[in-house]
Amino acid sequence: MPGSTYSPKMPIEKLLQEADRLRAAGDRKGLVSLLRHLLVYRRFYYGESIRQERQDELSDALLKALLLELDEEEEEGIEAAELSYAGIGSALSALQDDPTLAAEAYKRRLLLLHYFGDYLTDAIITLFLEKYRKNHLLEARSLALACIEKMRIHDMLWLEEYFPGLIEADEQLSDACNAFEDSCDLSEEGLKEADTLHRVLHAFLKSKYKG
């Protein structure tokens, strides 16, 4: 089984410390092996991240695994994206009164939605567009992607409001924000709707993976 170099019972603290060490050492091969292990045992480590209050760091590791295209099957990628999103949402709930600490989580969520929004469309459809699934799946997917676009804009505007200049200073973030096809302006009502989408999706995924 891929990832079997590491024990599935490895403490999450050790896994995260090892990931930091490999990144600092520039050991790409070792990091890829470790992140593949994380993807294989993603549910186990997600549960551990809740118990050890390490969801913020685990969501970052899952996003890095996706960015390195280490997911080998669509189901694996979808679950990794959903678990990363759930972890980011939980981190933001804990950091909502401290914008400085929350900024990195907002950035990570925006990047997740930009690069892997497709992996979250099924959850959006299940939540809001189930009636379209059977006979109008393409329309449902289009509407789900429109929801994700609105959620991305919400996060971009939050970063612009609290940390002006951050997006322009970060090449990856800047590329993600420059990719918007439509207007990046949201009305107050649109912002509230996007915030609700984020809250409901987080609650849904948190419940889905609570076991």
Buried b (16+ CB within 10 A) or exposed e, 6-45: beeebebeebbebbeebeeeeeeebbebbbbbbbbbbeeb
- Determine how many CB atoms are found less than 10 A away from the CB of residue 123: 20
Residue 36 one-letter amino acid: R
User: What is the rounded CA–CA span in Å between residue 18 and residue 6?
Assistant: 11
User: Taking the domains of the chain in order of start, what are their residue ranges?
Assistant: 12-208
Three-state SS annotation for 80-123: HHHHHHHHHHHHHHHHCCCHHHHHHHHHHHHHHHHHHHHHHHHH
DSSP one-letter string for the chain? -TTTTS-TT--HHHHHHHHHHHHHHT-HHHHHHHHHHHHHTHHHHHHHHHHTT-HHHHHHHHHHHHHTT---SHHHHHHHHHHHHHHHHHHHHHHTT-HHHHHHHHHHHHHHHHHHGGGGHHHHHHHH-HHHHTT-HHHHHHHHHHHHHHHHHHHHHHHHHHSTTHHHH-HHHHHHHHT--S-----HHHHHHHHHHHHHHHHHHHHHT--
What is residue 211's predicted lDDT score, i.e. its pLDDT?
60
- pLDDT tens column, 25-80: 999 999 999 999 999 999 999 999 999 999 999 999 999 999 999 999 999 999 99
User: What is the rounded CA–CA span in Å between residue 31 and residue 68?
Assistant: 10
Mean pLDDT, consecutive 10-residue stretches, the chain (211 aa), reads 65 96 96 96 96 96 98 96 97 86 94 96 90 79 92 94 92 87 72 95 96 60
Residues 38 and 65 sit within 8 Å (Cβ to Cβ) = yes
What is residue 183's predicted lDDT score, i.e. its pLDDT?
57
pTM of this structure: 0.92
